[in-house]
Amino acid sequence: MTSKLEQLRAMTTVVADTGDLDAIRQWQPRDATTNPSLLLKAVTSPAYQHLVNEAVQWSERQGGTTAEKLANATDYLAVLAGEQILGIIPGMVSTEVDARLSFDAEATKDKARKLSELYRQRGVDTSRVMIKIAATWEGIQAARELEAEGIACNLTLLFSFTQAQACAEAGVTLISPFVGRILDWHLASTGKDSIPAEEDPGVNSVRHIYEYYKAHGYNTVIMGASFRNQGEIEMLAGCDRLTISPALLEALDNDQNGLERCLSPDNVPQSQPYPPLDEKRFRWHLNQDAMATEKLADGIRRFAADQETLESHLSGALQAA
DSSP-assigned letters across all residues of 162-198: HHHHHHHHHT-SEEEEBHHHHHHHHHHHHT-S---GG
Q: Which residues contact 50 (CB under 8 A, 6 or more apart)?
A: none
CA 250: distance to chain centroid? 20
| Beta strand ranges found along the chain (DSSP E) | 13-16, 31-33, 93-96, 129-134, 153-158, 174-177, 221-224, 241-244
Distance CA 61, CA 251 (A): 45
Out of 132, 192, 280, 295, the active site residue is: 132
Contact status, residue 107 vs residue 133, Cβ threshold 8 Å? no
Q: Of the candidates 251, 246, 185, 237, which has an alpha carbon nearest to the alpha carbon of residue 11?
A: 237
How open is the CA angle 106-110-116, to the nearest 5 degrees?
A: 145
For residue 192, indicate whether it is catalytic: no
Size of the chain in residues: 321
Secondary structure class of 222 (helix, strand, coil): strand
| Beta strand ranges found along 199-256 (DSSP E) | 221-224, 241-244
Residues involved in catalysis: 132
